[in-house]
Amino acid sequence: MGTDIVVPNLGESIIEATVATWHKKVGDRVEVGEPLVELETDKVNLEVGAEQAGILAEIRHPEGEDVKVGDVLGRLDPAAAQPGAAQRSASETAAKLVEEKLVSENLEAPKPGEHPVSPQPSVRNYQPASEERMTPVARRFAQDQGINPAEEIPGSGPGGRVTRVDIENFIGQKAAPQPPGTPRLEPKPQQPALTITSVPATNGDRLEERVKMTRRRRTIAQRLVEAQHSSAMLTTFNDVDMGAVMEIRQRRKQAFNDKYGVSLGIVSFFVKASILALRSFPQVNAEIQGDELVFKHYYDIGVAIGVEEGLVVPVLRDVDQMTFADIERSIQGFVQKAKDNTLTLEDLRGGTFTITNGGVFGSLLSTPILNSPQVAILGLHRIEDRPIVREGQVVIRPMMYLALSYDHRIIDGREAIQFLVQIKEAIENPETMLLDS
């Protein structure tokens, strides 16, 4: 009797996922713990492994389909793992795949006692790469690259199906030097998750491209809209002189790096300043649940990191107990994990307050959106030299605009302004943070 492959519990508040990649095909041998399928959630990608050895007998949800917790993704045949049965099942599966391959190559199956003849390149079966002949991954890749499904592309998959590798090879052949006058197919650059692009055409028509949003992008869009609809969001602004922080970083950066093995950044100063301000204004570190206010006496600070598919917000936990070096190491670790797509649900769970730094992308001023159910978010921006007045004199100082978006249902304007002023004072007098740490 087969064993179902079930969508596991995906973590806090996540009930749906999208089947991103099947690592095995029907008929493939699977060992215990070996990854079978990768699921994409709004936060991270998760791999579902085999709970026992066997043969992948069925795939019920192909790549690109949405699934919920508890749905059956496919079925394993554990009987194939038993002695004798394993060899018979593997032999039958292999024979079936060979037969499908021979049929796809227009060759005859070998007679008993004969060895199969390897197909020669001259008899390769070139057929129009219709979407039905493409694997889901190949179909999406072909769309991204602007490949016409009617192109004659050889398929190396079971039954002659076109895989992503086949399309990559096809593009490579098209890109190779060709005789003069031969049209050359240029690979189309990767597009964002949702793209509507106008492309000039020789016939004067305007073209549009429609691409399905990824689950992560859909969820981000949904939650951003919900944050605006479910909160009374306002934003207050201020500016801060970054001279003292920049002087400390310049003077201590080499010694800090030598001692702790990590650079001294700007965000860690704002994390420390936020802790001081949150202690003074506990409602900024709170949450609304129904008709109750939940005041949190711990400080888990989310730090927004930009990745290809959108923003992720890993959380620094109990950050009031961390040193500058601890904060910097944690942030760098999150950045690397975001690049490698290895962030876990635990990295992203919870959070009581968020800091986002649009300055790394060149933003001068912006209005950050709340990261629900949190009630406040601090936005940092780029540092630029500006003339300001100091003791009656106009001087040039490195200035940054700060933005605090907050939920007016729990935080009054006066408190929001004072909270931001306290952060400004801490940054302009960083010794207060160092003495308090």
Catalytic residue among 4, 318, 412, 436: 412
DSSP-based three-state secondary structure for 230: helix
d(CA 167, CA 153) in angstroms, rounded, equals 7
Q: How far is CA 256 from CA 261, 262, 271, 325, in A?
A: 7, 7, 18, 8
Cis peptide before 373 (omega within 30 of 0): yes
Neighbour count for residue 182 (Cβ, 10 Å): 8
Query: How far, in whole angstroms, is CA 273 from its chain's centroid?
Result: 29
Q: Catalytic annotation on 412?
A: yes
Question: If we measure between CA atoms, which residue out of 386, 384, 406 comes closest to residue 396?
Answer: 386
d(CA 113, CA 128) in angstroms, rounded, equals 35
User: What does the block give as tokens for 421?
Assistant: 């002023």
DSSP designation for 238: E
Neighbour count for residue 47 (Cβ, 10 Å): 13
Question: If we measure between CA atoms, which residue out of 64, 76, 69 comes closest to residue 29?
Answer: 76
DSSP designation for 132: G
Within a 13 Å sphere around the CA of 95, how many CA atoms are in the beta-carbon half? 9
Show Cβ contacts of residue 416 under 8 Å, excluding neighbours closer than 6 positions: 234, 236, 284, 376, 404, 406
Neighbour count for residue 114 (Cβ, 10 Å): 8
One-letter amino acid of 404: L
Question: If we measure between CA atoms, which residue out of 194, 142, 191 comes closest to residue 171?
Answer: 142
Q: What is the end-to-end Cα distance of the chain in Å, rounded?
A: 61
d(CA 383, CA 360) in angstroms, rounded, equals 10
DSSP-based three-state secondary structure for 383: coil
DSSP designation for 13: T
d(CA 18, CA 214) in angstroms, rounded, equals 8
User: What does the block give as tokens for 6?
Assistant: 């079930």
Q: How open is the CA angle 215-221-224, to the nearest 5 degrees?
A: 135
One-letter amino acid of 95: A
Active site residues: 408, 412
